[in-house]
Chain A
Amino acid sequence: GQQVMQIPQYQHVQEGEDFTTYCNSSTTLSNIQWYKQRPGGHPVFLIQLVKSGEVKKQKRLTFQFGEAKKNSSLHITATQTTDVGTYFCAGRGDSGGYQKVTFGTGTKLQVIP
């Protein structure tokens, strides 16, 4: 079955440093979504990428979808303490019919003030 790996598992950064998390799928994806979960909270949708090579930005966050549609990344520029949380990618298969979303294992970001 489809597997989605995410690295790193944990990341500690000083406030103001950049942060990147990477997501890799064992199969081609039709789309990829990114979610953020604050400590003690529930996952909240950030963005969806659909096209090969797509790049989207949300303020300090930059999301990329790989050319082969098997990998993605989330980059945060100049982290702030409000960025603390776990970031999940979620990929949907591309083989027709209803495709379940498979979540990555998440990257837990800690920002040191």
Chain B
Amino acid sequence: DAGITQSPRHKVTETGTPVTLRCHQTENHRYMYWYRQDPGHGLRLIHYSYGVKDTDKGEVSDGYSVSRSKTEDFLLTLESATSSQTSVYFCATTPRDQYNEQFFGPGTRLTVL
């Protein structure tokens, strides 16, 4: 695997609280992505980054924000968690060229009560 870690791996939180998930990579990959995975929906892109401080929205970005202050770290923040954001969150990276494959982290299972 491409040296991608996610923290925390599991989290239970309450509705209305802010939550930050961290993705850390050691491969100096340019592109980083946040996906959520839900039964019947596959993997849906939340936000992605194409460089430090360069980010853009994916298809399900409402209620989420991201930041990338260093090449190796990509943070996903749920500003005010809702039960509909209960999901498994995956971080992924791609090296220099956008056409390369994506390498996925181990995932974070988030439960919002």
The finding on whether chains A and B are genuine partners in a shared complex, rather than unrelated, reads yes
- B106 and A105 within 8 A (CB): no
| B residues in contact with A92, CB < 8 Å | 98-99
Count of chain A residues with Cβ under 8 Å from any Cβ of B? 25
Q: Which of A42, A88, A102, A106 contacts B106 (CB 8 A)?
A: A42
| Complex Cα spacing A1 to B48, Å | 17
Name the interface residues of B17-59: CB closer than 8 Å to any CB of A.
35, 40-45, 48, 50, 58-59
Residue of B nearest to A50 (CB): B99
Q: Which of B40, B44, B98 contacts A99 (CB 8 A)?
A: B98
- B99 and A43 within 8 A (CB): no
**From residue B18, how far is it (CB to closest CB) to chain A in Å?**
25
| Complex Cα spacing A42 to B102, Å | 11
- A45 and B101 within 8 A (CB): yes
- B42 and A88 within 8 A (CB): yes
- A45 and B102 within 8 A (CB): yes
| Complex Cα spacing A30 to B98, Å | 12
With A42-B107, A43-B43 known as contacts, the answer to whether A101 contacts B50 (CB < 8 A) is: no
With A92-B99, A98-B50, A100-B58 known as contacts, the answer to whether A43 contacts B45 (CB < 8 A) is: no
- B58 and A105 within 8 A (CB): no
| Complex Cα spacing A100 to B49, Å | 11
| Complex Cα spacing A75 to B106, Å | 27
| Complex Cα spacing A35 to B103, Å | 10
| Complex Cα spacing A35 to B35, Å | 14
Residue of B nearest to A2 (CB): B59
- A103 and B43 within 8 A (CB): yes
Does A79 have its Cβ within 8 Å of any Cβ on chain B? no
| Complex Cα spacing A35 to B98, Å | 17
With A42-B90, A44-B104 known as contacts, the answer to whether A98 contacts B41 (CB < 8 A) is: no
Does A48 have its Cβ within 8 Å of any Cβ on chain B? yes
| Complex Cα spacing A101 to B44, Å | 9
- A101 and B45 within 8 A (CB): yes
Residues of A whose CB lies within 8 Å of any CB of B are 1, 6, 9, 30-31, 33, 35, 41-45, 48, 88, 90, 92, 98-106
